[in-house]
Chains A and B, each alone.
Chain A
């Protein structure tokens, strides 16, 4: 384990991941991004805005000031962790669409434990909250996972429905039994001890020491998926399930574990939001963060390294979008449209490039035939 682990760290720093993101795929990605930006520019023109000003405001708003950069990096962390959670489950052969609910429950559990332990040393509070968040998120993911593995109940639908259930449940808890007695707080649980909360790394930004926890998780997931036996088993099951079964790999157990771990990561994302930003549980700790991360994972084909890079790009669009709304005046939702266009094109990437190739081949054949015909006539 130890040499393998060191080696993997070295590989990570050497930035030479061996992943199936082929050059052709990356080229398509650039094309899709360019096309999506063109679509966005078209919408801006239609609404009477200057695309260049808007896009300049977008990038300036995301990267221009240290504070903005901090916010973008914090968003990257969220997207990256949720994306990895999705990837982990998907690689294990199961779809976790319920990360949003797991995130809420993880955040609630972390906030409750964090507030109850007021007075204990900071490290103990963080450790216990971490355990609570992982337990809550993991358990909530285990349910649809077990239903899928044991009873073959479609996990995509159950996880989506459980999202709504968890969000309503957390809303009930935060406004009902667990509502804080503090004055001036409309809804939310008691706040955690201020000394236990993560401290900002860049002044006034959302980037906190929580990023180190995220880094550890990212490293672990990356190791698990690409360098460990479990990762190898996942790879085999993914490519050829029958072969994997003959090799003695239990696909159902793998799927259940993948789902549970995925839920645990989502729970930790909830904790990061609570300890880093709000310092208490509120119903606004996430607004479909998991879905953004999930899509990042999908278009990067569940490759951890790609997910990390793409998270940064999507974070720019997300954080920059709000800044663009403030300075250029166009509604930030235009960036959601741009994002979905990227996703549409990347999902259709295989089909479209196949069609293009087939079209080119047909043209070539026709041209050759014409030439041959001319030759015969002369």
Chain B
């Protein structure tokens, strides 16, 4: 890797080489991750229903998603006449950008992440909120009533669930005394999920809602809204929405693992640094698996139930939890 970096640095400069290698690594891994997660989703759904799922292409259907991706790549891109063309074409790209930025923020190991910031947690929360703009752009520019409904529902939902996510993350910040994701992990000798089980649960519910996953998938509720905001998208543009959804699952799962499950820490991770990313990914995939498990268990919430759940239950509970955390931290001489 460093030899490659040196070679590239001679051609396009040091910064350019880091950028190319970093983006290449991240995008390459994310592509693999999406293919893996879609396969995993299909397997989890199948086994939850006592089926086998994809079995034909590759070992246990492991190449099924590769075949699906090739099919989507080769499909015609249809742009309906009545769309707002620029917004329509830009939305699938925009939905992807914050996700990639998020990926570079999560510390993979004791070494620094690709783009680490002293206030990383704030950036994470802000970036994960941007996705909703792209979803709304897609819904609005499609000029389709189902797409508009899906987009609007998505905005209402993400705005509502951003708050409990932020509040539960704040209770971790209170314990860790820092907004730096890297330092949150280094200070985390016991997973914070044990100190803050309620916050961890609220965070999990919040990120499930933010990634538009069932039981909070009303923006793309198939049985009500055709496909919701991506109804009018075809081929690879549609695939980009999928790409973003599954990438978001992994990244928010990794953020959750960083905040509550001890990030890259694990047995022997101190001695062999390469174990750090392995532990982080294992924990992130555990969170993702829980999200999938929940998806294939729970029915979709009605819209009013969804909003009531966020505003009348999650936010008050998260606020009380934050308050109790603050009081306990002040009262007990832990530090």
- Say whether A associates with B: no
* A interface residues, Cβ below 8 angstroms from B: none
